[in-house]
Amino acid sequence: MRRLLVPAGFALVAAIVAPSAFAQFTPVVPESPNADGIRTSYLFITIFTVAIFLLVEGLLVAFIWKYRRRKRPRFEDGAPVHGATKLELAWTGGPVIVLFVIAVFVFAELPGIKNIPTATAGEEQLEIKVTGRQFYWQFEYPNGVVAIDTMRAPAGVPVKLVVRSPDADVIHSWWIPALGGKIDAIPGRTNQTWFRADKPGTYRGQCAELCGLEHAQMLASVEVMPRLDFTAWLEQRRTDQTAGTGELGKETWGGVCAKCHGLAGEGGVGPRIAGSPTLTSPQSLATLVRHGRTGPQGVMPAVGSDWNDEQITALVSYLKENPPSGNAG
Ligand code: CUA
């Protein structure tokens, strides 16, 4: 009875786990042509790996069963086998063919994944500068609009991303799985990637390189909007930013300051800052975030070494209107 129960139990567990476990191993639904190329390659290679796994494990189990000892004495050798030319040719030629087929397929897919579509006349293309910093993503649009952690992009338009990290920072990795592969943000180097999302929606990702204490907080998302909505958003942001107001202040507080000091300024990895006069003084705040601080009061990195005055003003006006209470939750 037990002989039957154990395999039956395994089969039951496998039947329950298998579909959801399989879903864990498949890439997310692609929403950009390059992400689609990655998934197609993954699935193509998976066909071979699964087939080879089943073949090898199947033969292993079959041979263990077929050539089990039975009643032979423990130390009796099996019949010697000398050469099997056809078999040897098969297990040499087979893998060569499999690897060749996979290589051809991947090289055929690669340009569609890696190469940024060249902008042709009459076709729109958008370029966004992406900067990875401890511990936030900063985006800069061609008209100078700055955004933190949430990128907005127009649907159906190829978006070229120019990805870097400041010299004094560390390596981060830009990755929105539904919108293509990872690309590292490396100090002293400029990398490029792209996406073209046809469906409006929010696509989430995460810094994919362990970059320090708050790496897990370094989330990113891309909000794909209908073209006209995007244009309107970008123009509004430009106006707000010139005036030193708008969402940028809130984004900077939540995306940069709060990750270490808490959303209410209550303190966390960094000290409590609620009520600090620095928060409402553009000059002190600019000096602090641009140059950082070392000393008995503690070390504050230069988190905003390249922030312009508009960003500082937006942050200060947000903090004046919404002073951090100091009470978490
Ligand atoms: Cu940036 Cu992990």
Tens digits of pLDDT across the chain (329 residues): 556 666 666 666 666 666 666 677 778 899 999 999 999 999 999 999 999 999 999 999 999 999 888 888 888 887 888 889 999 999 999 999 999 999 999 999 999 998 888 877 667 889 999 999 999 999 999 999 999 999 999 999 999 999 999 998 999 999 999 998 899 999 999 999 999 999 999 999 999 999 999 999 999 999 999 999 999 999 999 999 998 888 999 999 999 999 999 999 998 888 898 888 888 888 889 999 999 988 777 788 899 999 999 999 999 999 999 888 888 76
Please give the distance, rounded to the nearest whole angstrom, from the Cα atom of residue 72 to the centre of ligand 1: 61
Residue 172 Cβ < 6 Å to ligand 1:
yes
Task: Point out the ligand 1 atom lying closest to the alpha carbon of residue 206.
Answer: 2
- 48: Cβ contacts below 8 Å, ≥ 6 apart: 98, 101, 102
Answer whether 163 contacts ligand 1 (Cβ < 6 A): no
Atom of ligand 1 nearest to the CA of 209: 2
Beta carbons within 10 angstroms of residue 233's beta carbon: 17
* 11 CB-contact burial (10 Å; exposed 0-12 / middle 13-18 / buried 19+): exposed
Q: Report pLDDT for 78.
A: 77
Query: What is the reported pLDDT for 269?
Result: 87
Cα 211 to middle of ligand 1, angstroms: 4
326, 266 Cβ separation under 8 angstroms: yes
- Assign 192 to helix, strand or coil: strand
Shortest-distance Cα residue to atom 1 of ligand 1:
172
User: How close is the Cα of 86 to the center of ligand 1, in Å?
Assistant: 53
Q: Which atom of ligand 1 is nearest to the CA of 135?
A: 1
Residues 313/244, Cβ–Cβ less than 8 Å: yes
pLDDT of residue 223: 97
Tell me how far apart the alpha carbons of residues 249 and 319 are, in angstroms, rounded to a whole number: 8
- Exposed/middle/buried for residue 2 (C-beta within 10 Å: 0-12, 13-18, 19+): exposed
Contact 138, 131 (CB under 8 A): yes
The answer to whether residues 256 and 148 touch, using CB atoms and an 8 Å cutoff, is: yes
pLDDT at 80: 85
Q: Are 208 and 220 in contact (CB under 8 A)?
A: no
Pairing of strands 219-225, 150-154: parallel
CA distance 287 to 176: 33
- Cα separation, 95 vs 88, in Å, equals 12
pTM attached to this predicted model: 0.83
Atom of ligand 1 nearest to the CA of 134: 1
Q: How buried is residue 311: exposed, middle or buried, by Cβ count under 10 Å (0-12/13-18/19+)?
A: buried
Ligand 1 centroid to 133 CA: how many Å?
8
* Distance, CA of 295 to CA of 236 (rounded, Å): 41
